[in-house]
Structure 1
Amino acid sequence: MKKTFYSILLFSTFIGACNNSGESTAPEGTNAEAATPRIPFTVVNAYTHDTLSFTQGLAIYGGQLYESTGSPEGIPNNGSWIGPVELSTGKATPKARLEKEHFGEGMTILNDKAYYITWQSKKGFVYQMPDFRKIREFSYNTEGWGLTNDGTNLIMSDGSNKIYYYSPDSMKLQNIVSVNDHNGPVPNINELEYINGFIYANQWETPYILKIDPASGKVVAQMDMNNLVNEARGAYPQADVLNGIAFDNTNGKIFITGKKWPKLYEIKLQ
């Protein structure tokens, strides 16, 4: 099951040292080889993150950091919820919780409304900001993984190489884009964030964040976060996969974390 086990064995197969400039050697046979340009970055700050939060999505809206989480069985967690997180302390304040029948996934905020999708329920929820009053529900025909927006459309992933564009008002499907790199289709597209005209995506069970051209679906570059994955697991062995990207378009700051990670990092692209 996608969300109910750790991926430690997979990450242990990655060899070679890396640093915060994203300079590392990727293993052969992956979708993240040297032919894809690397995006150098530096870590600017590291903030506390709740290790009970099984992070599924991050977003910044009005200068405030928001998080959505999932609730896998058999792993200590604080449930499926969406709400603000105090950056300086890591304190989360769940504002909307899902019933146990729903496994929370990605979220985004557009036009003072928060959209929160679920993994296999094929159901999403819309909340009015700032009090998170639920105003409606919506349905879709795929699994729900990641969610972001480009200021007009909701953009959703389902764990395949497909990215789906929906109208936020009608939830009518507008477009489907296939993600590809030099090797062909790129699977496991997960958490999404729209940054300066590109879609940045966690690729599940890898330490990579992919930069995707939304018009063509081509992976034009990538960030190697292997060093931060190792740091997270060194500090907290129960830390799971990289997941969670937030962009503050007022100041250009980018934040990343992972499921049950002890830290949330502010990074700067070089």
Structure 2
Amino acid sequence: MLNPFHSLTLSNYHQVMHRFLCVLLLTFTTYPSLAQEGLAQEGLAQEELAQERLAQERLTQERQSHESTNPPLKQLSYKVLDRQPHDRSLFTQGFLVDGPWIYESSGRYGQSKLARYKEADSSSFYAMKLPSRVFAEGMTLFDDHFYVLTWQSRKGYVYDRNWILKRTFHYEGEGWGLTHSDSHLIMSDGSNQLRFLNPKSLIVEQTLTVTGDDQNWDNLNELEFHDGLIWANRWQHNHIIAIDAKTGKVKGILDLTDLHQTRPGKRRERVLNGIAWSDARQGFWVTGKLWPTRYLIQIQ
């Protein structure tokens, strides 16, 4: 057999070998072995699996973080301790207890009034009619003065304990509910926001947005401040919510549907609206517009 390289010169031999090695290298580079392909595919699958595992861990961490900062709303319960008559003519807007008395502001044009009666048995009822142009809304008692809002007049009234008018004040938007902390009047306007007013200047010094459980907590109505929480009725809802007065977070929800269902009649305005803390009874009185009964409840 003839040697194919026998007739090559040394120079030609080097050129041929160089070309041969280049072709061989190109072949191995372009067409890797099946084993190499298998290893590459296995490595890719492991990388994809690791990425999926990492993504799942991130989702779990985000969910846990969301739950820790937005815990599920606490469903509050209650026990009825007492029930007393409630004047059915009262279109309840403001509702509070002071000493042995319950005070209410009652709304509607031509029918608005301020009322007072005994907490124990609703006796000694007295009412002062307001001007026909006034649609009374929320009311609170702060530093021996009653502050009363109006619905759409953008005007509030300040009375002394004898219900003698001392001054008026103005605000933007509508007036709905009113209560107070140790330092501020707290006002609702039917939205999901609460305004904190300086009780002397009556200027808004803070606005707090009510949030929680990814819901829109609008229609905030009659209010009561107690022990760091703002208890808020919501118009056309059968529940009262407990709001952290510092953060605006809803801490719990109290469903009073059973009390509302006992009310006679089907008039749309007969809604739950009125919550007032009683130091003497260590419970909350609740009632509604045109309701014949008020209830003393212990929230659990």
When the two structures are superposed, what TM-score results if normalisation uses the length of structure 2? 0.72
The aligned counterpart of 1:92 is 125
Query: Could you list the per-position Cα deviations for residues 35-65 of structure 1 after superposition, in whole angstroms to 9, with x for gaps in the alignment?
Result: 4211111011110011111001101123321
Kept in 2, the 8 Å contact 1:43–1:266? The answer is yes
Give unmatched runs, 5+ long, in structure 2.
1-70
Kept in 1, the 8 Å contact 2:187–2:196? The answer is yes
Paired residues in the alignment total 228
If asked which structure has higher relative contact order (CA below 8 Å, sep 6+), I would say 1
The 1-side partners of 2:233 and 2:140 are apart by 15
State the SS of the aligned residue for 2:126: coil
Amino acid corresponding to residue 223 of structure 1 in structure 2: L
After superposition, residues 145-160 of structure 1 pair within 5 angstroms as 145-160=176-191
Q: Give 1:91 deviation, angstroms.
A: 5.6
The 2-side partners of 1:215 and 1:153 are apart by 12
Q: Give 1:197 deviation, angstroms.
A: 0.9
Look at both structures and tell me which one has the larger radius of gyration over its CA atoms: 2
State the SS of the aligned residue for 1:221: strand
Query: Could you list the per-position Cα deviations for residues 56-80 of structure 1 after superposition, in whole angstroms to 9, with x for gaps in the alignment?
Result: 110112332111110158xxxxx21
Quick check: 1:168 aligned with 2:199? yes
Amino acid corresponding to residue 243 of structure 1 in structure 2: N
The 2-side partners of 1:123 and 1:145 are apart by 12
Q: Give 1:182 deviation, angstroms.
A: 1.1
Q: Give 1:185 deviation, angstroms.
A: 2.9
The aligned counterpart of 1:244 is 274
Which structure shows the higher strand fraction?
1
Kept in 2, the 8 Å contact 1:117–1:145? The answer is yes
Query: Could you list the per-position Cα deviations for residues 93-124 of structure 1 after superposition, in whole angstroms to 9, with x for gaps in the alignment?
Result: 113x3212110001000111000100000001
After superposition, residues 157-236 of structure 1 pair within 5 angstroms as 157-233=188-264, 236=265
Query: Could you list the per-position Cα deviations for residues 142-170 of structure 1 after superposition, in whole angstroms to 9, with x for gaps in the alignment?
Result: 20000000122100000000100001111
The aligned counterpart of 2:94 is 57
Which structure shows the higher helix fraction?
2
The aligned counterpart of 1:45 is 82
State the SS of the aligned residue for 1:229: helix
Q: Give 1:138 deviation, angstroms.
A: 0.5
The aligned counterpart of 1:128 is 160
State the SS of the aligned residue for 1:202: strand
Percentage identity across aligned positions? 36
Q: Give 1:89 deviation, angstroms.
A: 3.3
When the two structures are superposed, what TM-score results if normalisation uses the length of structure 1? 0.80
Kept in 1, the 8 Å contact 2:109–2:134? The answer is no
The 2-side partners of 1:147 and 1:90 are apart by 25
Kept in 1, the 8 Å contact 2:109–2:132? The answer is no
Give unmatched runs, 5+ long, in structure 1.
1-33, 74-78
